[in-house]
Amino acid sequence: MLVTFYHYPKCGTCRKAKKWLEENGVELNEVHIVESPPSKEELESFYKKSGLELKKFFNTSGQKYRELGLKDKLADMSDEEKLELLASDGMLIKRPITTDGNLVTVGFKEEQFEQTWK
């Protein structure tokens, strides 16, 4: 199975997820989420396929998120505005995002990876 793996190499969670995927024989197409963030259209597709709320795509523990005061602003933003904001800066996106084109996971939880990528 080949998956596209949007990650930030210095991120510990991304390294754990990558290790899990490699140990379980999943072939990776790695994309540096900051150098090549997913487009607004790609993010919209991930959002719809994931079944998650759009706010789950935000890296809420990130410095950029706090600097922009997004905790207080997201509730008043449209999905369109949120997607544009996410596409504008890879550091705002929760990582890793893993997708095979149909399934999408955001972040890394071993149980979720077991169910989705094994």
CA 97/CA 75 separation, integer angstroms: 23
- Render pLDDT for 9-36 as a digit per residue (tens, 0 to 9): 999 999 999 999 999 999 999 999 999 9
C-alpha–C-alpha distance, residues 29 and 19, integer Å? 14
The predicted model scores a pTM of: 0.95
What residues contact residue 114 under an 8 Å CB cut-off, 6+ apart?
A: none
Hey, is 79 helix, strand or coil?
helix
Taking only the tens place, the pLDDT of each residue in 75-114 is 999 999 999 999 999 999 999 999 999 999 999 999 999 9
pLDDT for residue 1 is more than 90: no
Report pLDDT digits (tens) over 31-85. 999 999 999 999 999 999 999 999 999 999 999 999 999 999 999 999 999 999 9
Choose among 60, 47, 35: nearest CA to 97. 47
Our CA dihedral for 28, 19, 97, 113, rounded to 10 degrees, sits at: 100
Q: Which positions ≥6 away from 56 have C-beta within 8 Å?
A: 50, 94, 106
Distances 20 to 14, 17, 28, 33, 82 between C-alpha atoms, Å: 10, 5, 11, 19, 30
Which residues, in sequence order, are CB contacts of 108 under 8 Å at separation 6+?
Answer: 13, 14, 16, 17, 20, 96
Write down the CATH number for the domain with range 2-117.
3.40.30.10
